[in-house]
């Protein structure tokens, strides 16, 4: 399943990579969020994809839920329109997910498209304030992620989900719209007792940040808002109470990285850039405050699917935590 919004050439390359898949029987579903560049028609005419057309951009979460509802197989694979799957990607994910009945998710080895010698992500890690990032992000690929193993959750740009798991816990939380949505779904699934396996044989190349761009204030705003929403909805109280302290530590680390021209602050150069960054963070936090009551209601609803105790959730996050120097 591919969600698309005005990326015709990227979508063409993505669908071409799916056309080359072997050892797997599958249907390609494209959910188009109101594109104006002819990409939806191209997917139908050139690739015979099943296209669900939205009149407007409904966001990554709602579009994925439309595709999940339309899917008929035992598994649902997600591939971003800015990603290209290597040969055997789909079959490798299915084998990994079929290893045990409690494996509900499979993660890919995602490489940077422009430089496939570098890791984009190999599963996910999370900082204790709710910020999440790809495991190994930016590292040279020296074989350190060539072992099949359990990880926290998969990145939504290239993942496989068991349909039975999604039927049990629900799909993407549409209040997130985009960014951090795969983290929320993944952690919710872990709390419900499902596991995730990473397989290095499922390889994908990914154009990083091509949707809104790394320097987009809107992107930063959504990331900050959704970080807080995720923590309010899913974190145990024993961890949530320390959220401001962990966030402050990450801000200090980010400021130090900015002095070296490193970290995410490098995408917001100069004083004007830092001011844009501060405004985006503040806007995200204000939106999260306005949505806090909604998330707390959803938190209460988690009792229906919860299998892990709060202590087990805290240990799960801590054992898969993102190092402070990697969270800036």
Question: Could you tell me the residue ranges of all domains in the chain?
Answer: 217-326
33: β partners: 54
197: β partners: 106, 150
Q: Each residue of 245-254: pLDDT tens digit?
A: 999 999 888 8
Cα distance between residue 269 and residue 59, in whole Å: 28
**147 Cβ neighbours under 8 A, 6+ residues apart:** 200
Cα 313 off chain centre by: 19
Closest alpha carbon to 145 in 157, 134, 156, 131: 134
45 — phi, psi (to 5°)? -75, -40
Cα distance between residue 300 and residue 302, in whole Å: 5
pLDDT recorded at residue 262: 64
Cβ–Cβ < 8 Å for 12, 81: no
Each residue of 165-175: b (16+ CB within 10 Å) or e? bbeebbbbbeb
pLDDT recorded at residue 272: 85
Q: Each residue of 223-276: pLDDT tens digit?
A: 999 999 999 999 999 999 999 999 999 988 887 876 666 667 667 778 888 888
Tokens 């499922």, located at residue: 202
pLDDT recorded at residue 213: 60
Cα distance between residue 121 and residue 324, in whole Å: 17
pLDDT recorded at residue 211: 57
Q: Rounded to two decimals, what is the model's pTM?
A: 0.94
* Cα pseudo-dihedral 292, 295, 299, 302, rounded to 10: 180
Closest alpha carbon to 203 in 106, 103, 126, 138: 106
Q: Is the Cα dihedral 309, 312, 317, 318 positive or negative?
A: positive
Cα distance between residue 148 and residue 90, in whole Å: 15
**272 Cβ neighbours under 8 A, 6+ residues apart:** none
Chunked mean pLDDT (size 10), the chain, 328 residues: 96 98 94 96 97 95 96 96 97 95 98 96 96 95 97 97 98 94 97 98 87 76 96 97 94 78 70 87 96 98 97 97 87
């Amino acid at each position: 399943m591919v969600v698309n919004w005005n990326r015709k050439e990227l979508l063409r390359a993505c669908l071409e990579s799916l056309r080359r898949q072997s050892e797997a029987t599958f249907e390609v579903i494209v959910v188009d969020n109101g594109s104006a560049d002819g990409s939806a028609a191209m997917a139908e005419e050139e690739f015979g994809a099943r296209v669900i057309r939205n009149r407007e951009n409904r966001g990554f979460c709602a579009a994925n839920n439309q595709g999940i509802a339309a899917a008929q197989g035992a598994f649902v694979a997600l591939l971003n329109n800015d990603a290209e799957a290597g040969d055997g990607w789909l079959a490798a994910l299915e084998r990994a997910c079929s290893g045990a009945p409690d494996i509900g998710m499979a993660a890919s080895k995602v490489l940077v498209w422009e430089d496939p010698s570098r890791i984009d992500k190999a599963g996910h890690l999370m900082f204790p304030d709710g910020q999440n990032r790809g495991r190994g992000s930016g590292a040279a690929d020296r074989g350190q992620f060539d072992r099949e193993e359990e990880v926290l959750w998969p990145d939504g740009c290239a993942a496989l989900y068991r349909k039975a798991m999604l039927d049990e816990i629900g799909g993407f939380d549409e209040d997130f719209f985009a960014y951090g949505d795969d983290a929320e779904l993944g952690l919710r699934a872990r709390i419900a007792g499902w596991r995730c396996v990473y397989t290095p044989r499922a390889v994908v190349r990914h154009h990083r940040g091509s949707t809104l761009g790394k320097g987009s204030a809107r992107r930063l705003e959504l990331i900050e808002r959704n970080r807080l929403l995720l923590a309010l909805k899913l974190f145990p109280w024993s961890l949530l109470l320390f959220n401001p302290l962990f966030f402050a530590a990450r801000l200090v680390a980010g400021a130090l990285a900015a002095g070296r021209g490193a970290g995410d602050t490098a995408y917001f150069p100069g004083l004007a850039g830092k001011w844009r960054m501060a405004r985006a963070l503040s806007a995200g936090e204000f939106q999260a405050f306005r949505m806090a009551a909604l998330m707390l209601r959803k938190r209460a609803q988690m009792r229906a699917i919860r299998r892990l105790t709060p202590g087990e959730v805290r240990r799960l996050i801590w054992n898969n935590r993102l190092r402070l120097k990697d969270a800036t």
